[in-house]
Amino acid sequence: MKLEDIGWNSCAYDQQPDPSHGRVTLASRDHFIVWTTDGELEATISGHFRHTSIDYPSVGDWVTLREGDVITGVLPRRTKLVRKQPGKEVREQVLAANIDVLFIVTGLDHDFNLNRLERYLVLACESGAVPVVLLNKTDLRTDLPAVLHQTQRRAPGVTVLAVSAVTGEGMESLSRQLQPTQTAALIGSSGAGKSTLVNRLLGVERQLTMPVRNSDAKGRHTTTRRELILMPQGWLLMDLPGLRELQLWADPEQIEQAFSDIADLAQDCRFRDCTHSHEPGCAVREADFPPERLESYRKLQRELRYLEKQTDHQAARVYKNLTKAAERAVRSHPKRRN
């Protein structure tokens, strides 16, 4: 197996691959499948890695190996898809790494939610990957032109594709978004049809699929692990489990990138710190702008500013605890007088 065929970029890593390098194709707790020049193998992480890092390898990572099957380190990530760790802990959770194109999948049934789509777009902007919106299940809609128009207004500058994994409509457009050796990922809520899309692209029933509930179009987690798949067209695809909880982990500046239409208008506001709510001379409010998009913009801004404060507070607590530990160490080991 040539590592260049599965995404290795010698320019990015400033070196040629060797047998000590591999790419994580499946990550499930402490169990990893890695592609190497010798083929596919099962791997574990070294004891030193386990005790010195909380950032375990993720699917798509390039890693260094010892003795063939022991992961000793993770190479720098070109891009990474992250969210806030679920629960109260304030730290990032890496979902996948080294992605070129991020397909944001939303079903055109009850799953269709433009506010949630905007959250995914912020996630994509933070990742560094190119976002592409996939409106799946076109066979369920008769008002597709209107839906496309609504979506394009809420995702300016982003490619929006309408497809049906069931009928195959529009599926050829997915492959045109990638070149051989590039990596894409499918992300979206449970029931959006990601696994069905994978099966359609592969031409075989590889991924388990389940029908969604008719009442609310909610799906079960048919994909329970993150896995990298080599497609017949020569590019790679990650099928990621559906996200029931999407807490953002991003720089507040990524809001401006995901809401570029608002950011562009804001350049003409009278006040530089305009909140676009009540100030006179606000170019955003004076424009013909969807009010629901402006409200979503404000909500995500508040969320990321709150996350920023939490992160700063946590960093301050860690520093304070380290300082106290250093002071205790000094007191317990006083300098000897000569």
Contacts of residue 178, Cβ cutoff 8 Å, sequence gap at least 6: 100, 101, 184, 233, 235
**Which residues, 6 or more positions from 161, have their beta carbon under 8 angstroms from its beta carbon?**
132, 133, 134, 135, 170, 173, 174, 177
Give the residue carrying structure tokens 């002071």.
327
- Assess contact for 240 and 96: CB atoms under 8 A: yes
Percentage of the chain surpassing pLDDT 70? 80
d(CA 204, CA 66): 35
How far is CA 298 from its chain centroid?
22
Q: Which of 27-41, 123-137, 221-235, 304-318 has the lowest mean pLDDT?
A: 304-318
Residue 141 has pLDDT above 80, yes or no: yes
Helix axes 144-154, 114-127, angle to 10 degrees: 50
Look at the block and give the residue holding tokens 């700063």.
312
- Measured CA to CA, the distance from residue 303 to residue 297 in angstroms comes to 10
Reply yes or no on whether the pLDDT at 275 is more than 90: no
pLDDT at 102 over 90: yes
Please compute the mean of the pLDDT values over residues 7-23 and round it to a whole number. 84
Q: Read off the pLDDT of each residue in 185-202 and give the average, rounded to a whole number.
A: 90
How much helix, strand and coil, in percent to the nearest 5, is found in the chain?
35, 20, 45
Question: Quick check: helix, strand or coil at residue 3?
Answer: helix
Would you give the end-to-end CA distance of the chain in angstroms?
Answer: 66
pLDDT band at 328 (very low <50, low <70, confident <90, very high): low
Average pLDDT, the chain: 82
| Residue 337 pLDDT greater than 60, yes or no | no
Asked whether residue 12 carries a pLDDT value surpassing 50, the answer given is yes
Per-residue confidence band for 224, with pLDDT thresholds at 50, 70 and 90: low
Three-state SS at 257: helix
pLDDT at 197 over 80: yes
**Residue 279: its pLDDT value, please?**
87
pTM, full prediction: 0.79
Question: Looking at the predicted structure, is the pLDDT value of residue 201 above 80?
Answer: yes
Q: Which residue has the higher pLDDT, 319 or 120?
A: 120
Q: Is the pLDDT of residue 120 over 80?
A: yes
H-assigned helices in the chain: 10-13, 47-52, 114-127, 144-154, 172-175, 194-202, 254-258, 260-266, 283-286, 291-332
- pLDDT, residue 322, reads 45
Domains of the chain with CATH codes: 3-74 (2.40.50.140), 80-239 (3.40.50.300), 254-312 (no CATH)
* pLDDT at 218 exceeding the cut of 60: no
Q: Is 116 helix (H, G, I), strand (E, B) or coil?
A: helix
Q: 23-46 pLDDT, tens per residue? A: 999 987 778 999 999 999 999 999
pLDDT > 90 fraction of the chain, expressed in percent and rounded: 40
pLDDT for residue 223: 47
Distance separating alpha carbons of residues 141 and 75, to the nearest angstrom: 44
Question: In the prediction, which pLDDT does 301 show?
Answer: 79
Structure tokens at 147: 């839906």
Q: Check if the beta carbon of residue 191 is closer than 8 Å to that of residue 212.
A: yes
Task: Assess whether pLDDT exceeds 80 at residue 97.
Answer: yes
